[in-house]
Amino acid sequence: MANPIKAETTVQDEPEADRDPQQEIQHPPGQNFGGPKRGGHNRFVNRRQGPYMRFQPPPHRGGPGGPGGPGGPGGPGGPGGERDFNRRPNRGPGGPHGNQNFNEHGPPGRIDKINEKLANMNGPTFDLPPLDHSEKKFSGRTRLYVGNIGNDVTEDDLTELFRPYGETSEHFVNKEKNFAFIRVDYRANAEKAKRELDGILFKGKNLKIRFAPNGSTVKVKNLTPFVSNELLYYSFSVFGEVERAYVIVDERGKPVGEGIVEFARKGCALNAVRRCSEGCFFLTTSLRPVIVESYEPMDDSDGYPEKYLNKKNPEFSKSREVGPRFASVNSFEYEYGMRWKQLHELFAQKEEAMKKEYEMEKEKLEAQMEFARYEHETEMLRDQLRAREMDRDRQKHEWEMKERLAEEQRQRNEEQMRRQQEEMQNRMMHQEEEMRRRQQENNLFMQAHQLDNMLQQEEQAYEEPSGMYNNMNQEGEAPVVKNYFYFDYGRLDFIP
């Protein structure tokens, strides 16, 4: 099986106009580039979840590089093995890609724009705006292949040849292989040019004109019944500019689970095939990933006209010797014709049996998916309940710690207040004692002052008796004797 990644690398180096349609990358019918058949239809699917992608690790690839040191490059990649794309590796801040986003599908440090777009549009998709059905100018559906041209045909000749059919662009002429490509403005003009110019004689050669292979178209399989044209366009626009997107329906207008997306550039289509093959791309909440394959629409409007037959081939003459007829019963032609019909019936029976087996496996997978979804939701509820219990225990522990801290703080405050009261009482008692002592000193000072006055009076009293006696002798009266006190300095009181 061809590798889509290598195919994209090869195509990007060559302009789209320089490629031969015969050299385009062809994928055999039935070859699946969309990964293994996975998922099933969820009958309860809804659009509560927008398009999102989960990448599965491709096996046998080198591991991520080592962490970048301070100012140095990251280490070499590890050995091949399973790689977890949902985990970002730890990188040092000093490495060359230390502060850049990690891209699982590109070089380190490259920002994955697809994941950024998906992150922006992730959400409910209940009401999507209607699509603009007006035809885009110079789309991929208007590119024509012009074959069997002469060696002297130039781009100007092609422009003049297609001028009556509208504007043209992307003129490319390969004179070595005698073919050219040209793009007309609208599909109707391209169909008209193909219808009128196919087979005409131009510079001595009959031109062969048909629509060029459109490598920018992909086919999307495994769609749920709730995917519309708008959701398909909206989801795949993350890979690049989309020109047209529609869901295929049956004769009753019911979707068949497949759709077509036409990109403006082939690189966008290859990128969508690669990313959806490596990962699981979901468009709704259903776990049915879309299967994306390269698709080349067939231009079967003209079929295979008689002019394209090589009538010079001997097999042509041998095959056309006899015209249409019914075989006679029990004839040689009838016997082998019935064998061919039996072979086709056997193929139809096996195909029908395969379809029935596929439907049974799909229903089985749907039931398993519903049961797994129920178990997953139950486990998530259990995890949430455990998380709530842990959170409640944590809050309870925090509250107990706060209460204990508050009690310790209250006790510290009470002890501090008690100490402050004791200190205040001690200061008051000391102040009272100091006041009593000062009051006693003041009293003693006053008493000493009074005693000093009394001593002065006594000294004056000792000096008065001589004069008093003299006065008595002169007047003839007995002198008055006053009371004298004895002062004991040790006792500090008066003794009469």
105 token code pair: 């599908």
Cβ(211)–Cβ(299) below 8 Å = yes
Cβ(260)–Cβ(246) below 8 Å = yes
Exposure string (b/e) for 479-488, b if CB count within 10 Å is 16 or more?
eeeeeeeeee
How high is the pLDDT of residue 483?
Answer: 45
| Amino acid at position 205, single letter | K
| Amino acid at position 419, single letter | R
Strands (E), 85-158: 143-147
Q: Is residue 39 scored above 60 in pLDDT?
A: no
How high is the pLDDT of residue 247?
Answer: 95
Task: Select from 323, 311, 271 the least CA-distant residue to 292.
Answer: 271
Distance of CA 458 to the CA centre of its chain: 117
CA atoms within 13 A on the CB side of 120: 9
Tell me what the mean pLDDT of segment 207-230 comes to. Answer: 91
**pLDDT grade for 300, boundaries at 50, 70 and 90:** low
**pLDDT grade for 400, boundaries at 50, 70 and 90:** very high
pLDDT, tens digit (0-9, with 9 covering 90-100), for 81-93 = 444 434 444 444 3
How high is the pLDDT of residue 85?
Answer: 39
Report how far residue 371's alpha carbon sits from residue 366's, in angstroms, rounded to the nearest whole number. 9
Mean pLDDT of the chain, nearest integer: 77
DSSP 8-state secondary structure symbol assigned to residue 300? -
How high is the pLDDT of residue 317?
Answer: 83
Cβ(217)–Cβ(261) below 8 Å = yes
Q: Is residue 41 scored above 50 in pLDDT?
A: no
Tell me what the mean pLDDT of segment 216-229 comes to. Answer: 93
Instruction: Classify 243 as helix, strand or coil.
Output: strand
How high is the pLDDT of residue 235?
Answer: 93
Give the torsion sign (CA, 267, 273, 278, 281). positive
Q: Is residue 71 scored above 60 in pLDDT?
A: no
Report how far residue 86's alpha carbon sits from residue 104's, in angstroms, rounded to the nearest whole number. 9
Task: Select from 224, 220, 167 the least CA-distant residue to 193.
Answer: 167
Report how far residue 448's alpha carbon sits from residue 456's, in angstroms, rounded to the nearest whole number. 12
Task: Name the percent of the chain lying above pLDDT 90.
Answer: 43
Residue matched to tokens 């850049």:
100
Q: Is residue 197 scored above 80 in pLDDT?
A: yes
How high is the pLDDT of residue 362?
Answer: 87
Strand-pairing partners, residue 211, are 144
Report how far residue 407's alpha carbon sits from residue 12's, in angstroms, rounded to the nearest whole number. 74
**pLDDT grade for 219, boundaries at 50, 70 and 90:** very high
Cβ(270)–Cβ(292) below 8 Å = no
417 token code pair: 């207040």
pTM (two decimals): 0.55
Distance of CA 355 to the CA centre of its chain: 37
Task: Select from 278, 241, 283 the least CA-distant residue to 261.
Answer: 241
Query: Considering only 11-25, 221-235, 420-434, which range has the smallest mean pLDDT?
Result: 11-25
* Most confident stretch, 49-63, 76-90, 311-325: 311-325
Phi, psi of 145 (to 5 degrees): -105, 125
Q: Is residue 316 scored above 50 in pLDDT?
A: yes
Element (DSSP H or E) covering residue 256: strand 255-263
**pLDDT grade for 173, boundaries at 50, 70 and 90:** very high
**pLDDT grade for 475, boundaries at 50, 70 and 90:** low
How high is the pLDDT of residue 468?
Answer: 56
Task: Select from 202, 189, 215, 216 the least CA-distant residue to 147.
Answer: 202
pLDDT, tens digit (0-9, with 9 covering 90-100), for 258-298 = 999 999 999 999 999 999 999 999 998 888 899 999 998 77
Task: Select from 359, 223, 371, 370 the least CA-distant residue to 284.
Answer: 223
Query: Considering only 66-70, 149-153, 243-247, 396-400, which range has the smallest mean pLDDT?
Result: 66-70
Rama region for 433: left / alpha / beta (φ>0; ψ in -120 to 50; rest): alpha
| Amino acid at position 444, single letter | L
Report how far residue 124's alpha carbon sits from residue 129's, in angstroms, rounded to the nearest whole number. 13
Cβ(292)–Cβ(272) below 8 Å = yes
pLDDT, tens digit (0-9, with 9 covering 90-100), for 18-38 = 444 444 434 444 444 333 344
CB atoms inside a 10 Å sphere around CB 429: 10
489 token code pair: 């300095």
Q: Is residue 342 scored above 60 in pLDDT?
A: yes
How high is the pLDDT of residue 470?
Answer: 54
pLDDT, tens digit (0-9, with 9 covering 90-100), for 124-169 = 888 888 988 888 888 888 999 999 998 899 999 999 999 999 999 9
How high is the pLDDT of residue 315?
Answer: 86
**pLDDT grade for 467, boundaries at 50, 70 and 90:** low
Q: Is residue 366 scored above 90 in pLDDT?
A: no
